[in-house]
Structure 1
Amino acid sequence: MNDNVTKIKERLSILDVVSSYVELHKAGKNYKGKSPFTTEKTPSFYVSPDRGMYYCFSSNQGGDVFTFIEKMEGVDFKGALAILAEKAGVELVQEDPQKRDARDTQYVLIEDATKFFFQQGVNTKGAQDYVLDRGVSGKTIHTWRIGFAPDAWRSLREHLQEKGYTDAQIQSAGLIKTADGGKEPYDVFRNRIMFPIADNSGRIVAFSGRTLSQDKETPKYVNSPETEFYQKSDILFGYDKAKQSIRKFDFSILVEGQFDLVLAHQAGYSNTVAVSGTALTAHHIELLQRLSNRAVLALDSDRAGIAAVKRASGMMLARGMDVKVVNIEDGKDPADIIKEDSQRFKHMVGEALHVVEFLLSVLKRDLKDDRTYKLQVREEILPILARMPNRIDREHFENVIAKALETTKEGIHFEVERLNEEGKGEPADEYRAMAQEPVQTNTRYEDLVTYFLVMRDLLLSSDRKTLGEALEKHLQTLGITEEIHSDIGRRNKLAFTLEEEFSAYSDRQLREELSDRLTECARLMARRRAADIRSRIQEAERRGDSDDIPALIGEMTDSQHQLHITITL
């Protein structure tokens, strides 16, 4: 554990940190409250100040104060370190800029570029007027640090060079391009309204620029290229500002454009995020689902927007998410509607339809021929339905579609099953693995091992240390060690339960309890060993290695004797 982590843990109690997010109440030696990770009525979230750990029984996850901040703030360990250092008043040692590694230098460079663009926006009336005319307030401009890239070939490059950065560093950050014919490198962003894009911890890592040019050949938006620290598939624009609200309101709103996003937040929809410069990815969905299982898509209503709805909803439904769609009017986007009447947009979000119902209404609107309509439902909507892992949901919408098509539910169900057989109901390759939840092998043997390791730690740290030492000797004899069995998550979970229970046991009761479980574990290990030997005997017979069989039979006999062992602590 490094010095920074040690200092933070010395100054900050996990109880103080968690209490700023969760209302906690005393529960014996621990504290409990409602889970910040799930929606629950009965508190199942426990904090142990003594061990500096937490465990959430409703989501089956736990850890220390750093793990908690990582999950609550959606940051990595480095981000959690920075947040907790500020809370603890610990100054993280920062090296001189010349001695920083390349990655840290890039963050500082990007921050300097952000300040440059923002100041240019303040000083350029045309840029300010454009943003204000779009309905963006001065406060929102400052909050989102919206700026302007001058209509010049090398203004940012020259500014950053004056601050000591090299062309190689500036290009590595995605801010300049190499010119043809030996000319000097030039700025990527020119004559554009600049939106800084932050990572999950709030550090600026990239930009999206909206042109002010009237030239139709000029791309409307230009986004930063991918760099070492900016991967489009990993970052949702606005996620750093929206994550707490998504958790609070228990749903996210997904929009497409930068103005859609900032105006949504300005109007109070702080649970809004945007995809910037790429299609929605499996990782984007994972980020959203960490905070809530519900999403509302507020995408454009043109053909591209509808296609995006189909793709995004298919991926989300495969993960078991509840997906609704806002019915945006033709030719408008959320920014237009919010600018005209923010309350109207609020009503539209409230009236959002489940994606199946939305797509049915779109096809009905666009296709006048009844047969074509039914065929398109089969081609476009039933594959989405087939991806739903929730059987109750799937059956509900089979009924909805059957009524819409004036056919039988059985007929729709048959088509859905056929699509699954054909593989058309399977998730796309990029998120197929995400849709398949890992299988947990929660065997009795693993349960017993976890129980013993937790009890050993509890006893060794209590006034029953002698009993803990006796248990440890038996565990060593059985070959149960920290290195072999180190499922920390399961141990933390069980510790919160056992800590309250074992204090009520007398020494005699506890010895009997442990002896019974040690006996059960030893016999179970003997059965496992016997099964392994039996397989080896069968393999030896198959290979014709008769010389090995007598020794294996001897091992089998020993294992049979162990099936009747009794351990007394």
Structure 2
Amino acid sequence: MNSPIEEIKARLNIVDVIQGYIRLQKAGINYKAACPFHGEKTPSFFVSPTRQIWHCFGCGRGGDHFKFIMEIEGHDFPEALRLLAGRAGVILKREDPRLRSERNRLYDICETAAEFFEKNLSVTPAVLRYVGARGILPATAKEFRIGFAPKSWDTLLKFLQGQGFRVDETEKAGLAIRSEDKNSWYDRFRGRIMFPIFDAASRVIGFGGRIFDAADTRGHQDRGQAQNEAKYVNTPNTLIYDKSKVLYGFDKAKQDIRVAGQAVVVEGYMDCVMSHQAGVKNTIAVSGTAFTPQQLGMIKRLADTLVFSFDSDAAGESATKRSLALATEFEFERKIIEIPAGKDPADAVLENPESWRTAVAGALPVVEFYYRKAFARFDPKTPEGKKEITALLIPLVVELRDEIQKAHWIEKISASLSVPREAVEKELMRRTPGSTAPAQAPGVAPESVPTRRDILEERLLALLTVVAHDIQDSFGDSPYLSFTASQNAEIFAILRAGAERPMPEHLAPYYSMLRFKGEILKEITDSPVAEFRVSWRELEKECVRDRLFTIKGEIELLEKTGKHGDVLPLLADFKTLSLHLKTIQ
């Protein structure tokens, strides 16, 4: 019996899966397109319907159905598996069908509620005027599916019952609350402007509701709002909604985050909506709280830079600092957007969208931002001022993982405060906790960056799969050519021997990828044989350089330990290799 993974691949053609996201053009037996993962003008992204795999020759990404979904959607593997299983109609055996059915009902309830709220907004002029006064355009309201919950106890409940949903299901979806006497239910959201919350697949999974009062036009505390009524009410955790794993706007921003290489992080729903409207499409919101490891994991799969813009009040400042500290553990580059005090991103966009775009483009690295802030707030000439400035800056310098950046800031702080460098270094050491390895974002496997030698090995083998028969009589030889990966060495030996036999089972998937790359290289190069010769020569150079580096280290070690007699053979090898390197260069 096939595994769920094999069953999904058998039911879904990879061409159809990828064409759901980008436009593919026929290119011989394959398909090509401009890569969705990096900017390019000449298409270098290829899909093989024969092998059911894809590869980009520009950025090096490639893989199967699941890898594409993980890259394009920002999913981890389990999420990609569930998404494709749903599209293929494959039931994952570990999942209780009853649980799956219950989840689907909750998705349906949330979608139906979103439609209900949208319709109510369209027929409530006072709320439409408020939304317009906040600067939200009709097209933006439609894109984010903003709605309105009537100010009544059970209007939504009755509507959903009329649509065939039970009251207990509505409660499980987070849309209804059971009364204290347990005998009745009432709507959770009443008299509120509604912001649907979507998962990465753009399904409605929850809501954020902002209190509405016609007397309020700026989004601040409402004059008619009861003191004990929260300004915002959010869906509680449900079977389909977990606040710690969701980012508002992520479903709309993920492609732009990938392209920009960074995510702009704001605090509230309105900030996110207005930022998108201003053209900063890589914006997400954390809904007034600090980041969680799960949320950072979602972004880490797409980008390495976070650009923060939280409210300048005490709560916003606190959330920013907590998020900054956690983000550095995941090795994000961190920047902060500077906007006028008392304003938030929504205010900035309403006043002047261009000013917001300029502020985002001019975001400062985190230490630079707080450096300017500290020296503007405190007097660097007084002992008290020096103490306050170092108290603010040193913890941020400690968080830097790049030693060059640390050295730069030690020098700058020392010069700006007119104190010895040693004093800054001592304070840095005092505040430095025990050294720890970088945190790993949940669901993000650490990826090693391929070296030039790794790339050349793969290119050589890919070309060899399509030129092996043409060069059997002129293959050549080199005692210096070797492979770092054992599977590369095995495939090279098989192809060089010219053996007409299937690849061993453990090599078959990797060999299939190499064949695909070889076929594409054959199409896009004038002479595959010439390209193979060039790759051979370049790989041989890398092998020789690596060996020279190793010998150099061995010689230094022997000289340090006084074993001078053992150095001479190594010196002879070093000379021979150096001469050979000059010859092949």
Superposed pair shares fold, TM > 0.5: yes
Question: Could you say if the C-alpha distance between residues 437 and 406 of structure 1 is closer, same or farther in structure 2, counting changes exceeding 3 Å?
Answer: farther
Does residue 432 of the first structure (1) align with residue 443 of the second (2)? no
1:499-526 deviations in whole A, cap 9, x for unaligned?
Answer: 7899989xxxxxxxxxxxxxxxxxxxxx
Report how far residue 146 of structure 1 moved: 0.6
Q: For the Cα contact (< 8 Å) 2:324–2:334, is it kept in 1?
A: yes
1:63-118 deviations in whole A, cap 9, x for unaligned?
Answer: 213431331133533675499x6xxxx9999xxx9997111111111000101111
Does residue 467 of the first structure (1) align with residue 505 of the second (2)? no
Does residue 419 of the first structure (1) align with residue 431 of the second (2)? yes
Determine what percentage of the aligned residue pairs are the same residue: 32
Report how far residue 268 of structure 1 moved: 1.2
Question: Could you say if the C-alpha distance between residues 173 and 418 of structure 1 is closer, same or farther in structure 2, counting changes exceeding 3 Å?
Answer: same
Residue from 377, 386, 390 that aligns with 1:374: 386
Report how far residue 196 of structure 1 moved: 0.2
- Find the counterpart in structure 2 of residue 9 from structure 1: 13
Question: Residue type of the partner of 1:375?
Answer: K
Q: For the Cα contact (< 8 Å) 2:140–2:277, is it kept in 1?
A: yes
- Find the counterpart in structure 1 of residue 175 from structure 2: 175
After superposition, residues 10-159 of structure 1 pair within 5 angstroms as 12=16, 20=23, 36-37=36-37, 47-55=47-55, 62-75=62-75, 76-77=79-80, 81=84, 101-159=101-159
- Find the counterpart in structure 1 of residue 395 from structure 2: 383
TM-score (normalised: structure 2): 0.69
Does residue 447 of the first structure (1) align with residue 485 of the second (2)? yes
Question: Residue type of the partner of 2:334?
Answer: V
Question: Could you say if the C-alpha distance between residues 441 and 367 of structure 1 is closer, same or farther in structure 2, counting changes exceeding 3 Å?
Answer: closer
* Structure 2 unaligned regions, length at least 5: 92-96, 213-223, 455-481, 530-585
Aligned to 1:228, the other structure's residue is in SS state coil
Report how far residue 134 of structure 1 moved: 0.8
**CA distance in 2 between partners of 1:92 and 1:438 (Å):** 29
Count of aligned pairs between the two proteins: 471
Question: Could you say if the C-alpha distance between residues 239 and 498 of structure 1 is closer, same or farther in structure 2, counting changes exceeding 3 Å?
Answer: same
Question: Could you say if the C-alpha distance between residues 189 and 198 of structure 1 is closer, same or farther in structure 2, counting changes exceeding 3 Å?
Answer: same
After superposition, residues 19-418 of structure 1 pair within 5 angstroms as 20=23, 36-37=36-37, 47-55=47-55, 62-75=62-75, 76-77=79-80, 81=84, 101-212=101-212, 213-276=224-287, 278-368=289-379, 370-418=382-430
**CA distance in 1 between partners of 2:425 and 2:340 (Å):** 32
User: RMSD of the TM alignment (CA)?
Assistant: 4.3
1:298-340 deviations in whole A, cap 9, x for unaligned?
Answer: 1111222222222222222333322211122222111111111
Q: For the Cα contact (< 8 Å) 1:232–1:277, is it kept in 2?
A: no
Aligned to 1:311, the other structure's residue is in SS state helix
After superposition, residues 498-517 of structure 1 pair within 5 angstroms as none
Aligned to 2:264, the other structure's residue is in SS state strand
**CA distance in 1 between partners of 2:262 and 2:396 (Å):** 21
Question: Could you say if the C-alpha distance between residues 281 and 102 of structure 1 is closer, same or farther in structure 2, counting changes exceeding 3 Å?
Answer: same
Report how far residue 350 of structure 1 moved: 2.6
Report how far residue 41 of structure 1 moved: 11
**CA distance in 2 between partners of 1:205 and 1:186 (Å):** 19
**CA distance in 2 between partners of 1:204 and 1:266 (Å):** 20
Report how far residue 439 of structure 1 moved: 9.0
TM-score (normalised: structure 1): 0.70
Question: Residue type of the partner of 1:360?
Answer: Y
**CA distance in 2 between partners of 1:295 and 1:135 (Å):** 26
Aligned to 2:317, the other structure's residue is in SS state helix
Question: Could you say if the C-alpha distance between residues 39 and 406 of structure 1 is closer, same or farther in structure 2, counting changes exceeding 3 Å?
Answer: farther
Question: Residue type of the partner of 2:295?
Answer: H
* Structure 1 unaligned regions, length at least 5: 473-480, 506-569
**CA distance in 2 between partners of 1:150 and 1:329 (Å):** 35
Q: Does 303-312 or 107-116 show the bigger shift?
A: 303-312
Q: For the Cα contact (< 8 Å) 1:198–1:206, is it kept in 2?
A: yes
Report how far residue 34 of structure 1 moved: 7.8
Question: Residue type of the partner of 1:239?
Answer: F
Q: For the Cα contact (< 8 Å) 1:233–1:278, is it kept in 2?
A: no
**CA distance in 2 between partners of 1:250 and 1:406 (Å):** 38
1:167-210 deviations in whole A, cap 9, x for unaligned?
Answer: 22111111111111234111111111000010111111010000
**CA distance in 2 between partners of 1:45 and 1:493 (Å):** 14
Question: Residue type of the partner of 1:262?
Answer: V
- Find the counterpart in structure 1 of residue 562 from structure 2: none
Question: Could you say if the C-alpha distance between residues 34 and 412 of structure 1 is closer, same or farther in structure 2, counting changes exceeding 3 Å?
Answer: farther
1:321-372 deviations in whole A, cap 9, x for unaligned?
Answer: 2221112222211111111111122222233221111112333334457434
**CA distance in 1 between partners of 2:363 and 2:188 (Å):** 39
Q: For the Cα contact (< 8 Å) 1:223–1:277, is it kept in 2?
A: no
Q: For the Cα contact (< 8 Å) 1:297–1:323, is it kept in 2?
A: yes
Question: Could you say if the C-alpha distance between residues 467 and 275 of structure 1 is closer, same or farther in structure 2, counting changes exceeding 3 Å?
Answer: same
Question: Residue type of the partner of 1:188?
Answer: R
Question: Residue type of the partner of 2:501?
Answer: G
- Find the counterpart in structure 2 of residue 540 from structure 1: none
Question: Residue type of the partner of 1:68?
Answer: F
Question: Could you say if the C-alpha distance between residues 67 and 130 of structure 1 is closer, same or farther in structure 2, counting changes exceeding 3 Å?
Answer: same
Question: Could you say if the C-alpha distance between residues 104 and 13 of structure 1 is closer, same or farther in structure 2, counting changes exceeding 3 Å?
Answer: closer
**CA distance in 2 between partners of 1:235 and 1:354 (Å):** 26
Report how far residue 378 of structure 1 moved: 3.7
**CA distance in 2 between partners of 1:57 and 1:259 (Å):** 40
**CA distance in 2 between partners of 1:336 and 1:364 (Å):** 27
Q: For the Cα contact (< 8 Å) 2:267–2:288, is it kept in 1?
A: no
**CA distance in 1 between partners of 2:361 and 2:515 (Å):** 43
Question: Could you say if the C-alpha distance between residues 200 and 491 of structure 1 is closer, same or farther in structure 2, counting changes exceeding 3 Å?
Answer: farther
Aligned to 1:196, the other structure's residue is in SS state strand
**CA distance in 2 between partners of 1:251 and 1:412 (Å):** 32
**CA distance in 1 between partners of 2:288 and 2:484 (Å):** 46
- Find the counterpart in structure 2 of residue 532 from structure 1: none
1:222-257 deviations in whole A, cap 9, x for unaligned?
Answer: 111011211112111001111122223332211111
Report how far residue 51 of structure 1 moved: 1.8
